[in-house]
Amino acid sequence: MKVVLFCGGYGMRMRDGVDDLPKPMAMVGNRPLIWHVMRYYAHFGHKEFILAMGYGARHISRYFTEYDETHSNDFVIENGQVRPLTTDVADWKITFVHTGIETPIGERLRRVAAHLGDDEFFMANYADVLTDAPLDKVIERFERSTALASLLAVPPQSAFHIVDVDDADDPNGAHTVTDIRSLSTMHIRENGGYFVMRRELLDHLQPGKDLVGDTLTDLTHQGKVLAYPYDGFWMPADTVKEREQLEQLSRSGEAPWRVWATDSVSASCPAGVGGPVPGFDELAAVAPLSGR
């Protein structure tokens, strides 16, 4: 199943406030967020990716066209040539599509739709959130339904507290607090991304519209959107604190999202010494679709 990664939003910027690094390129350990997301999908057998790029696209393109296997794989230097012993990405196919700078997510999906071929199902992701959710079960449940889309539904991540107040008509405008609760304890969930979709959903996309705020909201009113409630590990990288937590987990070796760590061994590298990374002749550079 193909995976569309939305990696064109402004996201976070480098601390100097100058560099145009998109959020999916924020580093966790020695690899960017988008790499961790892609390794997650590859672990479940989904290795064909379509990158809907926009802001900071040059960073994403350069990272993969200059990909260095030695950052996360054992290797041998023999006769001055580097030979990886294992590989991360040799069997991946990555299509790079320029979808515009100010483009809403729904429109980005419209602009990459041609690269989905005739597949009945596909997946989509914001490329900046990590999880250990059981993707195979998410897909199985969706395929048994008649829904057009499924999303991961996770508990609220905010550390804020909800304050309940009474309705007393105090002359000074003050109200008595009757309860204080953590937002995470409330019986509500937020959109955790990790979408699975049917091709028919593409027919509901309107030019220039958002995916969740417009298309999925409309389909929800028709009973066409499923939620997969998940209370396990799910963490965005929207704040400095969250990025530091992910980095700490990565350094400690206790990173729940690394579901691929249970694999017996990474794909073996084909025979041969040196030369380009095997499999990267499959990279597809796609011409801009937006007057970028």
Banded pLDDT at 273 (limits 50, 70, 90): very low
Q: What is the pLDDT of residue 19?
A: 61
Domain count, the chain: 1
Give tens-digit pLDDT for 159-207: 667 787 777 766 776 777 877 877 667 678 899 999 999 999 999 999 9
Q: What is the pLDDT of residue 160?
A: 66
pTM, full prediction: 0.81
Q: Is the pLDDT of residue 53 over 60?
A: yes
**Maximum separation of any 2 CA atoms in the chain, in Å:** 86
Mean pLDDT (whole number) for 271-283: 33
> By C-alpha distance, which of 117, 133, 162, 145 is closest to 125?
133
Q: What is the pLDDT of residue 15?
A: 44
Q: Is the pLDDT of residue 65 over 70?
A: yes
CA distances from 130 to 34, 45, 245 (A): 9, 17, 12
CB 250 within 8 A of CB 29: yes
Question: Is position 165 within any domain?
Answer: no
Banded pLDDT at 276 (limits 50, 70, 90): very low
Question: Is position 28 within any domain?
Answer: yes
Percent of all residues in the chain with a pLDDT value above 90, rounded to a whole number:
56
Identify the CATH number of the domain in which residue 251 sits.
3.90.550.10
Q: What's the domain range around 236?
A: 3-156+189-285
How crowded is residue 13: how many other Cβ atoms within 10 Å of its Cβ?
A: 15
Q: What is the pLDDT of residue 157?
A: 76
Mean pLDDT (whole number) for 259-274: 54
Question: Is position 196 within any domain?
Answer: yes
Q: What is the pLDDT of residue 11?
A: 58
Question: Is position 33 within any domain?
Answer: yes
Mean pLDDT (whole number) for 79-105: 90
The pLDDT mean for the chain works out to: 83
Element (H, E) at 109: helix 105-112
Q: Out of 62-71, 201-210, 221-230, pick the least confident.
A: 62-71
**DSSP line for 41-63:** HHHTT--EEEEEE-TTHHHHHHH
Question: Is position 85 within any domain?
Answer: yes
CA distances from 253 to 73, 83, 171, 258 (A): 16, 26, 58, 9
Q: Is the pLDDT of residue 138 over 60?
A: yes
Report which DSSP code applies to 157: -
Question: Is position 164 within any domain?
Answer: no
Question: Is position 222 within any domain?
Answer: yes
